[in-house]
Amino acid sequence: MKKYLVIGNPIEHSLSPKLHNYWFEKNNINANYDKRKIDKSEIKQIISEIKDDKLDGINVTVPFKSDVIPFLDALSEESQITQSVNTIYKQDKKLIGHNTDIKGFELSLKEIQFALENKTIFILGAGGVVPSIIYALEKLDVSKIIVSNRTKQKTENLKKYFSNISIVDWGDQPEFDMIINATSLGLNKEDNINLNFKNINKEKLFYDVIYNPKETNFLRTGKNLGCKVSNGKMMFIYQASEAFKLWHRVKPEINEELKKYLNL
């Protein structure tokens, strides 16, 4: 039986095992997918389990997406540019790191009727997932990407990899067409992002990377303004389906039954 794992800290909330195990059953794949909460000091050992054939693949989540990089033999171009790995596999005895968050974000946008060309995108946050979002948006020919983060130093680090982004102070609110919450504000239902969204017309798109809770205060604000809103549910499902395709060479089905099963 093949074995897969998602590593992170915290990890209790992860729906990846439920999702991958569901697809194993649907596709008659003899495999098991588990989750493991780890410390940074355990990364080397766990990754070596793929080399020793004790594991067949690993998904990596917060906060280890960059920390795994020194232990891999090669990176896909996407992982290299974003310095972020969420999927590890073995090919010709080499451990390869790939980033399926980019494709996950891209595919989730395709489902939303919102033309992004020549639009201004305002990103809140500068954590692990933000390089993937910027990379995807740059490919979509948006005209401007503005990033704001409580700790400004992190946005300045991002600028080293993505020189075209603009930076504004945390709390400032520039003009935008699409706003993305990529902070962890909203994971607790009562969390609020301290921005004044008055005078915003309904042509905007509010996108939250968070999918649990389904509707953060941020998304509720967007909805009340009459704007389009999307949570991170489809990004999560698509990043998983891209990893599944890579590992098993099978495109898993994404349908309403699945979303219901995940309660998303």
Query: Which DSSP helix (H) or strand (E) runs through 89?
Result: strand 87-91
Based on CB atoms, which residue is closest to ligand ATR, 91 or 151? 151
Identify the residue among 11, 38, 62, 69 touching ligand ATR (CB under 6 A).
62
> How are beta strands 57-60 and 87-91 bridged, if at all?
antiparallel
Identify the residue among 183, 216, 217, 241 touching ligand ATR (CB under 6 A).
183
What's the min distance (Å) between Cβ of 143 and ligand ATR? 24
DSSP 220: H
Identify the residue among 76, 120, 127, 246 touching ligand ATR (CB under 6 A).
127
3-class secondary structure, 8: strand
Site membership for ligand ATR, residue 48 (CB under 6 A): no
Tokens of 2: 């093949």
Site membership for ligand ATR, residue 131 (CB under 6 A): no
Tokens of 84: 């972020």
Report the alpha-carbon distance of residue 42 to residue 37 in Å, rounded.
Answer: 10
Dihedral angle at the C-alpha atoms of 103, 83, 153, 169, nearest 10 degrees?
-10
**Degrees, nearest 5: CA angle 168-233-80:** 60
Based on CB atoms, which residue is closest to ligand ATR, 63 or 226? 63
Site membership for ligand ATR, residue 252 (CB under 6 A): no
The residue type of 16 is S
Site membership for ligand ATR, residue 144 (CB under 6 A): no
User: How many residues bind ligand ATR, per CB under 6 A?
Assistant: 14
Site membership for ligand ATR, residue 159 (CB under 6 A): no
Identify the residue among 91, 143, 151, 192 touching ligand ATR (CB under 6 A).
151
Task: Point out the residue whose Cβ comes nearest to ligand ATR.
Answer: 127
Q: Where are the alpha helices (DSSP H) in 68-120?
A: 77-82, 101-110
Based on CB atoms, which residue is closest to ligand ATR, 86 or 248? 86
Report the alpha-carbon distance of residue 199 to residue 126 in Å, rounded.
Answer: 26
The answer to whether the beta carbons of residues 137 and 82 sit under 8 Å apart is: no
Instruction: Give the chain's length.
Output: 264
What's the min distance (Å) between Cβ of 85 and ligand ATR? 13
Identify the residue among 116, 121, 180, 185 touching ligand ATR (CB under 6 A).
185
Report the alpha-carbon distance of residue 233 to residue 240 in Å, rounded.
Answer: 11
What's the min distance (Å) between Cβ of 82 and ligand ATR? 12
What's the min distance (Å) between Cβ of 148 and ligand ATR? 9
Q: Which residues are catalytic?
A: 65
What's the min distance (Å) between Cβ of 185 and ligand ATR? 5
Positions that interact with ligand ATR (CB under 6 A): 62-63, 125-129, 149-151, 154, 183-185
